[in-house]
A and B are shown apart, each in its own frame.
Chain A
Amino acid sequence: MSATGKRLVGVAICAVVVCVLIGLYIGLYLTTSPGDASAAGVTGSNGTNLYLATVAASELSDPHPSWVSYYAVDAKDQNWHHATTFELPANSLVHVTIYQFDGQSGLRNPFIAQATGIIGGTFGLNGKPTVAIGPDTASHIFAIPQMGVSVPLYGVPDDAKNPCDNAPCPLSTDHETITFTFRTPGKGLYRWQCFVPCAAGSIQGFGGPMQTVGYMDGFIKVV
């Protein structure tokens, strides 16, 4: 092969290698969190129902099996999915039920222990209407700052007999049930987050799952 031919082949190989590397770069990157799975709320007669669960650790097959996470029921198949993007209809009432399986941590800012942005200002904690919980008993918060919604999720006490360690968590294990209703605004993309630093320490506690969409953060698509 002539010198030019050799160089042409060399350049072509380099270009292909570079494109493959770029493709890997992008691909590996975009797959480091559980996919864009979204859960649509289950539409009922008096509004949409959204069923969520918070667990102490996601399932063992997850990319991060030791991380706390939210799970949601998908309207399409009525099954629990590891999803944090929720699709809800605009300008409607959404009834949320959260099964809370995780233990108690503490809030950085006790102000967030009071619920805001929900209909009636109270949420049901195991059936009891509640306005605020003790700041040290919070396990998680479900908050949509752009809608002003923020609801504290009471944690399973430390002396519980039958806690759930890893998802999937059956309802037979110890859990708290929180229910509330809020009204969605117009169409758009909103984000939600948790406010309880659940790992070690006030600063470090906001790392890991707290900063990763797919675990303790997500989006709400109002359509």
Chain B
Amino acid sequence: MPSSTSQTPNTEVDELVAVSTPQRPIWQRLIGFNLVTAVVLAIVGWLIGYWIGGRIHAPSLDFFADNGQNDISILLGYLLGVIGFMIGMGFANYPIRRMLGHPPTLAEHESEGEGLARYFRLCTDHKVVGLQYVVGIGFFFFIGGLNAMFIRTELLNPNNHAFGPNQYLTLVGLHGTMMMGMMTSVILGPFANWLVPLMIGCRRMAFPRIEAFTFWLLMAAGIVLLTTLFFGGFQTGWTGYQPLGGQGTAGYDAYIGFFALVGLSMCLLGLNLLVTIITMRAPGMTWSRLPIFVWSVLATATLMLLASPMLLAALLMGAFDRAVQTGFYVPGIGGSAYLWQNLFWVFGHPEVYIVALPGFGIVLELLPVFTRKPLWGYRLAVAGMLGVTLLSFFVWQHHLFVSGINADLRPFYMLSTELISLPTGFIFLCAMGTIWRGRIRFTVPMLFCLAWVFNFLIGGISGVFLSDVPSDVTTHGSFFSMAHFHYTIMGGLVFTLFAAIYYWGPKMTGFKFNERLAKIHFWSLFIAFNSTFGPLFALGLMGMPRRVVTYPTNLQALNDWVSVSAYVIGLSMLVFLVNLVWSQLFVREPAEANPWNSKSAEWQLPTPVPVHDFDRIPVFDGDPYPYGVPQVTAPVVAPAGGTA
């Protein structure tokens, strides 16, 4: 991680900080607005909220409170706890200062604190936020992955249960919820925040405080979700279907709290990125010169901004149903069982494209570098991404084909869902055109991108099966659909995530990764991944529904194969962790400024990138992928500061 001593002081801020302060005792350094204060205030907030909830009395509410399930207390506790957390982090400081009449200012957060301390407080340097995101989401990613290992352990035997049925369902729900909540931001949070300003030539995001806010909100959300265990877990899976969610233990309140916070975080993250890309591009960075990764971020940010509010609305009604016995989702008292399904999937379908689109951007961004050719079909690729964005709002009822929706709707949604494979296909065509007659180098990031092609191909084609109503009748709700979305989400997003980590990681941290361990990680992950999820297609077609603890004994051999393969995935992730700790914390071999010989803007900066990013705002001229024209080494014209 960049330490403050290696930066060349270039602005007043850096000069102020460069005056070294004597080391204060650690207890004194802990006072202030940072993670410690935030946790303390979070606990205080929880206790206050819980206490207030206990003071609210009414006959039916008391009945549930007596059953050990005071949902109002829990929900209020979460609300005030998160507010306490954010106040402790220091997010209330600026609004209060402004209300007291102080002038607007920003610089005080970007570089204060010594190296590591910046990462545990409110820091408005977009590069710090990017790295915070990587570690923060990574932590929850591994917890979600651990849950997956538990799930596969349970499914080893249909009659010997490793966990009780309640615990198993909570594990299933935690795995899905943790992943879908956290991994939707895993490219935009870490990489878009870190890269977009550098790629479009500005020094910071449009709303740096909001940028930091989205990160800490996501962390608070993750902790909220983990507390579900103390309240009995939740038995609805990540889709949280009502009216099932309305009954059952109070762990569902943690689910509500988590997704509400995640939804808010996503909404603001999308807003920030959208405004930054639209308004803060450097001179010469026209729309047709925008790197394709930035286009994918733009498309994803649009989806994040527009889809999250639907989720918040659905969750709010769910919270009311649980806490104060309203009947939004209960048919017997005037509600509808369809309401949740529809609201959730209006969010849920754009959500899965939020997960898929950044992967498209990363693959198309990296292929030119490792084939030494410009991106083929740039406009087609952009059209593809925007087409996916637009169409993703019109397909959600394919999750409800056999639910008894109005039968006239099904042909329309079948058509729209099949159509969405068209813009997705453009991405494949552009990838194919880029590698054709290129000079392909098989670096680790390239390997992950190629794996994406294979995985997403399978995932996409299985999606065509699922979008076809007659085929969907058997495969809906079965392991076939599980295999489909794991191929697209895990085979798509997670593989491109690792491509991004190995590609941009050395630039972000300043240290190289061990290449041999990285290759072991790649091959073991790729093979184990296909070995795990390929057979699931067969299991689904053979009649195994989702989220079950038991199955016919003739399916046991296949399930055991899948479980063992899943353990190998876990081991490959351990290889990655070992590589991460070993190369970043111990070996610490400094990375070159441009190890991949990329001609993209962010690689023209020194490693590590200074706090202020550019000495002077660059002026862009020409194609973002000037490969094949040897005299052009970068798309920028004016010096961008530092030496390549």
Contacts and interface: CB of A to CB of B under 8 A. Distances in A.
Partners in one complex: yes
Interface of A: 4, 7-8, 10-11, 22, 25, 28-30, 32-33, 64, 66-67, 188-189, 199-200, 202-208, 211-214, 217
A204 B245 CA distance: 9
A203 B330 contact: yes
Interface string B321-364: 00001000010100000000000000000000000000000000
For A11, A32, A66, the residue with the greatest tally of chain B CB atoms inside 10 Å of its CB is A32
Given A202-B332, A204-B247, A30 B229 contact: no
Interface string B157-180: 001110111110010000000000
A66 B66 contact: yes
For A67, A200, A204, A208, the residue with the greatest tally of chain B CB atoms inside 10 Å of its CB is A204
B597 interface: no
Given A211-B235, A213-B166, A205 B247 contact: yes
B247 A206 contact: yes
24 contacts: A4-B586, A7-B586, A10-B585, A29-B170, A30-B163, A32-B229, A33-B166, A66-B67, A189-B160, A189-B161, A199-B63, A202-B332, A203-B243, A203-B330, A203-B332, A204-B325, A205-B247, A206-B248, A208-B67, A208-B249, A211-B248, A212-B232, A213-B164, A213-B165
A208 B247 CA distance: 8
Interface string B214-255: 000000000000000110110100000001001111000000
Given A30-B167, A200-B60, A208-B67, A8 B159 contact: no
Nearest to A214: B164
A119 to B, nearest CB: 26
A159 to B, nearest CB: 22
B117 to A, nearest CB: 15
B69 interface: yes
Interface string B30-74: 000000000000000000000000000000100110111100000
Nearest to A67: B67
A33 B164 contact: yes
Contacts of B165: 213, 217
A64 B68 contact: yes
B632 interface: no
A22 B229 contact: no
Interface of B: 60, 63-64, 66-69, 146, 159-161, 163-167, 170, 229-230, 232-233, 235, 243, 246-249, 325, 330, 332, 581, 585-586
Contact of A22 (B146, B230, B233): B146
B164 A199 contact: no
A8 B586 contact: yes
Nearest to A14: B581
B60 A208 contact: no
Contact of B232 (A8, A32, A188): A32
A116 to B, nearest CB: 22
Contacts of B69: 208
A204 B66 contact: no
A212 B166 contact: yes
A11 B581 contact: yes
B249 A11 contact: no
Contacts of A213: 164-166
Given A29-B167, A203-B243, A11 B585 contact: yes
Contacts of A205: 247
B249 A207 contact: yes
Contacts of B246: 203-204
A2 B164 CA distance: 48
B247 A207 contact: yes
Given A29-B229, A207-B248, A188 B166 contact: no
Nearest to A221: B159
A4 B582 CA distance: 11
B12 to A, nearest CB: 32
Given A25-B229, A208-B249, 13 more contacts: A11-B585, A29-B229, A66-B68, A67-B67, A199-B63, A203-B246, A203-B247, A204-B246, A207-B247, A207-B248, A208-B247, A212-B232, A212-B249
The list of the 8 closest CB pairs from A to B, nearest first, reads: A207-B247, A207-B248, A189-B159, A213-B164, A204-B247, A7-B585, A203-B243, A206-B247
A127 B308 CA distance: 61
Contacts of A30: 163-164, 167
A147 to B, nearest CB: 15
Contacts of A33: 164, 166
Contacts of A8: 586
Contacts of A67: 67-68
Contacts of B159: 188-189
A205 to B, nearest CB: 7
A205 B332 CA distance: 13
A7 B116 CA distance: 13
For A28, A188, A211, the residue with the greatest tally of chain B CB atoms inside 10 Å of its CB is A211
B63 A200 contact: yes
A32 B249 CA distance: 12
Contacts of B585: 7, 10-11
B312 to A, nearest CB: 23
Contacts of A22: 146
Contacts of A203: 243, 246-247, 330, 332
B408 to A, nearest CB: 30
Contacts of A188: 159
Contacts of A212: 166, 232, 249
Nearest to B235: A211
Contacts of A200: 60, 63-64
B158 to A, nearest CB: 9
Contacts of B586: 4, 7-8
For B63, B229, B247, B325, the residue with the greatest tally of chain A CB atoms inside 10 Å of its CB is B247
A214 B164 CA distance: 10
A64 B250 CA distance: 13
Nearest to A208: B67
B63 A208 contact: no
B166 A199 contact: no
A7 B583 CA distance: 12
Nearest to B60: A200
A211 B330 CA distance: 19
Contacts of B232: 32, 212
Contacts of A208: 67, 69, 247-249
Contacts of A7: 585-586
A100 B233 CA distance: 30
Nearest to B330: A203
A109 to B, nearest CB: 14
A43 B330 CA distance: 47
Contacts of A202: 332
Nearest to A217: B165
Contacts of B167: 29-30, 32
Contacts of B68: 64, 66-67
A68 B413 CA distance: 46
A221 to B, nearest CB: 9
B8 to A, nearest CB: 24
A28 B248 contact: no
A217 B243 CA distance: 20
For A25, A66, A207, the residue with the greatest tally of chain B CB atoms inside 10 Å of its CB is A207
Nearest to A25: B229
Contacts of B67: 66-67, 199, 208
Contacts of B170: 29
Contacts of B66: 66
A5 B51 CA distance: 46
A37 B448 CA distance: 49
B492 to A, nearest CB: 28
Contacts of A29: 167, 170, 229, 233
Contacts of A11: 581, 585
A189 B66 CA distance: 34
A88 to B, nearest CB: 15
